[in-house]
């Protein structure tokens, strides 16, 4: 496979997903915040809360409308750029996406209409129910695609059928309830909730700085900061669980996240640091130019034991007998056996030699978990881009910490003081809106760059997954998508800003 093509296909998918992820988190979070605000309106009967709800609902609609269908491009790309992959994953990927289409999409779109058109036409309680169902439906949409992504990170609940060259689902619930999928879902939607909260407190802070719509802005900050504090604390708690799952299922990703080349017991977690750019798995240079470490924290995070051994990149590539870690070289041998068995099976079937086919199938099944290693050229190819993964992880975690502090401060000053007097805090809230997007994108960089070179962990390389199409086609479509998404983003920002300037008293 031409490397140029693989890189462009990769870049195109990354571009699509990263732009898609600009729109999604706000939808996930703002939906629930609007539902909370409407609940308060129903409880209090206050017209201010009604106006507050309608204002944020309009911004929710703008974001939803601009973002809708950007995800369809990804599904389109699966068929065109990643045809080998799409076939290989079979119904495991297809089933969750189909459920998403049927259940969540219809749920969202039906109640979306009631939410916007039904203010004076349906009962207040039914309207509120619709708002909650739109919020829940949006998050259910995310569930299915994240289950599919979780399976790619930890492929379970399936069996490979050599006749069809597809993986077939044998245990739906183990795929849905896989620890990687559940922690990924919770981590992702809660990051969306944090984004929604940051957006609400940031925009409200702007009103307070401008000294307009003060009561509305204070109400909004109170809801945004309360919700934000709860979900950002949950995000941190769940991030710990995600880290543990990564350590167990994708130890190479964890090693890259921490820039850990040499495995160690009682491993410390790098709180901040600068990687040595000259460090590779094949030299003995030091890993960091400078770093600040939290003692034992990496061992605790990884295996819930302060003395646990955390394998480094070198252990995972070259093996470690003491800790029973198989080398990539050995895995490559098993992978090549798996590929040869598949070939032998197909030949035996053609010759109608059932005995030979059975033997080949047994050997294939014994080595199937290393299938993807058969396509590797060098043992070091399993190392993901360490610097990108490390810095993205630390940016995400640092910003996550800042968001907890920001929400706590906003909540404290909202309740105990006149928050409008604290300009620096309000400015911080306003400027934290882009930081929320950066944190969310960084999280996806960790998840996806950190698992390179795999499209499906241990089973299929990105290079194998790519369709053999003209590189020019991919380059043209890359730039067309880039243009389209940039125009959509500009449109969203312009319409949002216009609506924010109009404020809660204007028409929606």
Candidate ranges 151-159, 248-256, 359-367, 478-486; the one touching another protein (CB under 8 A): 478-486
Candidate ranges 110-118, 204-212, 303-311, 424-432; the one touching another protein (CB under 8 A): 110-118
| Interaction between residue 238 and another protein (CB under 8 A) | no
| Interaction between residue 3 and another protein (CB under 8 A) | no
Q: 211: left (phi > 0), else alpha (psi -120 to 50), else beta?
A: left
Q: Determine the straight-line distance between the first and last CA of the chain, rounded to whole angstroms.
A: 52
CA–CA separation, 29 vs 195, rounded Å?
Answer: 6
| Interaction between residue 66 and another protein (CB under 8 A) | yes
| Interaction between residue 4 and another protein (CB under 8 A) | no
| Interaction between residue 227 and another protein (CB under 8 A) | no
**Residue of the chain from 23, 41, 88, 393 that contacts another protein (CB under 8 A):** 88
**Shortest Cβ distance from residue 103 to another protein (Å)?**
21
Candidate ranges 33-41, 259-267, 431-439, 466-474; the one touching another protein (CB under 8 A): 466-474
453 preceded by cis ω (within 30°)? yes
**Cβ(395)–Cβ(438) under 8 Å?**
yes
Smaller CB separation from another protein, 72 or 415: 72
**Shortest Cβ distance from residue 273 to another protein (Å)?**
37
Candidate ranges 59-67, 239-247, 322-330, 442-450; the one touching another protein (CB under 8 A): 59-67
**Shortest Cβ distance from residue 363 to another protein (Å)?**
15
**Shortest Cβ distance from residue 181 to another protein (Å)?**
25
**Residue of the chain from 124, 291, 329, 336 that contacts another protein (CB under 8 A):** 336
Written as one string, the DSSP assignment of 163-174 is TTTEEEES-HHH
CA–CA separation, 209 vs 134, rounded Å?
Answer: 32
CA–CA separation, 172 vs 178, rounded Å?
Answer: 10
Smaller CB separation from another protein, 320 or 471: 471
| Interaction between residue 61 and another protein (CB under 8 A) | yes
**Residue of the chain from 110, 320, 359, 473 that contacts another protein (CB under 8 A):** 473
Q: Which of 63, 93, 16 is nearest to 499 (CA)?
A: 63
Q: Which long-range contacts (CB under 8 A, 24 or more apart) does 298-303 make?
A: 298/258, 298/260, 298/267, 298/268, 298/269, 298/270, 299/265, 299/266, 299/267, 301/240, 301/243, 301/244, 301/247, 301/269, 302/243, 302/244, 302/247, 302/248, 302/254, 302/267, 303/244, 303/247, 303/248
CA–CA separation, 342 vs 431, rounded Å?
Answer: 55
Q: Where are the alpha helices (DSSP H) in 177-312?
A: 179-209, 214-249, 251-257, 297-303
**Shortest Cβ distance from residue 484 to another protein (Å)?**
6
| Interaction between residue 461 and another protein (CB under 8 A) | yes
**Cβ(317)–Cβ(327) under 8 Å?**
yes
| Interaction between residue 480 and another protein (CB under 8 A) | yes
| Interaction between residue 493 and another protein (CB under 8 A) | no
| Interaction between residue 452 and another protein (CB under 8 A) | no
* The residue count for the chain: 508
Binders of another protein among 367-386, rule CB under 8 A?
Answer: 374-375
CA quadruple 305, 306, 308, 313: dihedral sign = positive
Smaller CB separation from another protein, 343 or 418: 343
Question: Residues binding another protein: what is the number (CB under 8 A)?
Answer: 52
Q: Which of 232, 243, 221 is nearest to 413 (CA)?
A: 221
**Shortest Cβ distance from residue 457 to another protein (Å)?**
17
CA–CA separation, 2 vs 6, rounded Å?
Answer: 7
Query: For another protein, what does the binding mask look like between residues 134 and 173, x meaning CB under 8 A?
Result: -----------------------------xxxx-------
Smaller CB separation from another protein, 66 or 205: 66
**Residue of the chain from 80, 276, 353, 471 that contacts another protein (CB under 8 A):** 80
For another protein, the binding residues (CB under 8 A) are 1, 58, 61-62, 65-66, 68-69, 72-73, 76, 79-80, 83-84, 86-88, 113, 116-118, 121, 163-166, 336, 339, 342-343, 346, 374-375, 461, 463-464, 467-469, 473, 476-477, 480-481, 484, 488, 491, 495, 499, 507-508
């Amino acid at each position: 496979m031409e490397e140029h093509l693989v890189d462009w296909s990769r870049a195109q998918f990354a571009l699509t997903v990263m732009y898609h992820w600009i729109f999604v988190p706000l939808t996930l979070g703002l939906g629930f915040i609007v539902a909370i605000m409407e609940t308060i309106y129903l409880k209090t009967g206050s017209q201010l809360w009604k106006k507050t709800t309608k204002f944020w609902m309009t911004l929710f609609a703008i974001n939803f409308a601009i973002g809708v269908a950007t995800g369809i491009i990804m599904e389109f790309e699966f068929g065109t750029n990643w045809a080998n992959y799409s076939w290989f994953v079979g119904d495991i990927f297809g089933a969750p996406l189909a459920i998403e289409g049927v259940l969540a999409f219809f749920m969202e779109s039906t109640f979306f209409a009631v939410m916007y058109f039904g203010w004076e036409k349906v009962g207040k309680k039914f309207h509120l129910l619709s708002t909650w169902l739109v919020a829940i439906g949006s998050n259910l949409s995310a569930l299915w695609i994240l289950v599919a992504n979780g399976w790619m990170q930890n492929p379970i609940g399936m069996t490979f059928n050599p006749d069809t060259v597809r993986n077939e689902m044998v245990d739906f619930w183990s795929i849905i309830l896989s620890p990687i999928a559940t922690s990924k879902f919770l981590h992702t939607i809660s990051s969306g909730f944090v984004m929604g909260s940051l957006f609400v407190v940031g925009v409200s802070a702007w009103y307070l700085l401008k000294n307009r719509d003060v009561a509305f802005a204070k109400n909004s900050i109170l809801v945004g900061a309360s919700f934000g504090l709860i979900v950002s604390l949950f995000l941190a708690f769940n991030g710990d669980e995600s880290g543990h799952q990564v350590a167990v299922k994708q130890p190479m990703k964890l090693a890259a996240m921490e820039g850990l080349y040499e495995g160690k017991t009682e491993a410390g977690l790098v709180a901040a640091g600068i990687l040595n750019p000259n460090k590779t798995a094949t030299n003995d240079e030091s890993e960091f130019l400078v770093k600040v470490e939290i003692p034992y924290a990496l061992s605790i995070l990884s295996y819930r034991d302060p003395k646990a051994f955390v394998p480094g990149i070198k252990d995972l590539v070259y093996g470690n007998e003491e800790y029973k870690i198989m080398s990539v070289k050995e895995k490559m041998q098993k992978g090549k056996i798996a590929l040869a068995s598949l070939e032998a099976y197909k030949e035996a079937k053609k010759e109608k030699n059932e005995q030979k086919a059975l033997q080949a199938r047994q050997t294939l099944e014994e080595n199937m978990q290393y299938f993807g290693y058969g396509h590797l050229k060098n043992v070091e190819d399993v190392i993901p881009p360490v610097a990108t993964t490390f810095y993205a992880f630390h940016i995400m975690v640092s910003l996550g910490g800042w968001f907890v502090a920001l929400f706590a401060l906003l909540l404290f000053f909202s309740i105990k003081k006149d928050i409008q007097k604290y300009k620096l805090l309000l400015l911080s809230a306003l400027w934290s809106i882009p930081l929320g997007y950066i944190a969310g994108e960084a999280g996806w960089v960790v998840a996806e760059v950190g698992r390179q070179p795999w499209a499906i962990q241990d089973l299929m390389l990105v290079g194998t997954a790519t369709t053999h199409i003209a590189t020019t086609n991919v380059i043209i479509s890359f730039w067309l998508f880039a243009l389209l998404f940039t125009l959509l983003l500009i449109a969203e920002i312009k319409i949002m800003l216009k609506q924010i300037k109009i404020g809660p008293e204007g028409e929606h």
